[in-house]
Amino acid sequence: MIVAGEVSVNGHVVIDVSRQVHENNDVILNGMTLETRAFRYIQVHKAQGTICSNIDEAYPSVFNTVDVDNVSELHVAGRLDVDTSGLVLVTDDGRWSFNIIRPEQQCNKIYRVGLRDPVSVTDVQQFLTGIQLQGERQFTRPAELERIKPREVLLTITEGKYHQVKRMFAAVGNRVISLHREQIGEVRLDVAVGEWRYLTADEVESFNQVPRCTNDRLPSGHHRHY
């Protein structure tokens, strides 16, 4: 229909199918004004052994459990590895997901981490100061370690480098045995494995308030340095 000249944008016929349009543009098809569909914002409980891809590959796609129309138009805002479980946010709103993944947003991601070795007081302080990952010159942003058990911690980070959690613990001589994401910003995982739900309006809006994505979870007496 576009190539046939049946679509106009702001009063001009457009036959270029790659032309971008925006929410304030008037798009008309054969005399009928088109309305944009509302964006969708969803939380999914990703199971281990699934991938954050829209199609099945060596492992099944996490989207297989999301029963909505046009699921192929959704994407993950902050992927998890195949062996990592927990909260993933999916949407078809690219600007919204960009707010989540960019470091300047200071958006908390909270992980429950099982480790090979016990966590020491030195490890806690080193994570708070920042860690130099192998192959990188810049230190990580300050991160919080909350010890639950000797070999189990809650880790809060505000960035998402490649395999960051595993690399951070490797840098202090430890090894991640299990990894599960419990929270992103103000959104906590609250559905069972393989299930999903739409986010509330307040949850959606919480990611649009720069830099209020971050909850202050650092221990009393410490300050963040960015």
pLDDT at 216 over 60: no
Respond yes or no: is residue 67 known to be catalytic.
Answer: no
- Interatomic CA distance for residues 36 and 38, integer angstroms: 6
Q: Return the beta strands (E) in 20-108 as ranges.
A: 27-29, 32-33, 41-46, 75-76, 85-91
Residue 76, classified by CB atoms within 10 Å of its CB into exposed (0-12), middle (13-18) or buried (19+), is buried
pLDDT above 50 (res 81)? yes
For 56, the enclosing helix (H) or strand (E) is: none
Our measurement of the distance from residue 64's CA atom to the centroid of its chain's CA atoms, rounded to an integer in Å, reads: 18
Handedness of CA 57, 155, 140, 97 (dihedral sign): positive
Residue 34 · residue 27 · CB < 8 Å: yes
Topology of domain 1-36, CATH: 3.10.290
Architecture of domain 38-104+191-211 in CATH?
2-Layer Sandwich (3.30)
The per-residue pLDDT for 211 is 53
Q: Is residue 210 predicted with pLDDT exceeding 80?
A: no
Tell which wins on pLDDT, 4 or 162. Answer: 4
pLDDT tens readout for residues 146-182:
999 999 999 999 988 889 999 999 999 999 999 999 9
Average pLDDT of span 39-48:
97
pLDDT at 222 over 90: no
Determine which one of 16, 56, 69, 81 is catalytic.
81
Q: What CATH code is assigned to 109-184?
A: 3.30.70.1560
Strands (E), the chain: 7-9, 12-13, 27-29, 32-33, 41-46, 75-76, 85-91, 109-115, 144-149, 152-157, 176-184, 187-188, 196-198
> pLDDT tens across 86-142, in order?
999 999 999 899 888 887 778 899 999 999 999 999 999 999 999 999 988 899 999
Same fold, 1-36 and 109-184: no
* Distance (Å, whole) CA 122 – CA 29: 64
CA separation for the pair 93, 41 (Å, rounded):
8
pTM summary value: 0.82
Ordered by start, the domain boundaries in the chain are 1-36, 38-104+191-211, 109-184
- For residue 76 the two structure tokens come to 């993950």
Residue 149: what pLDDT? 96
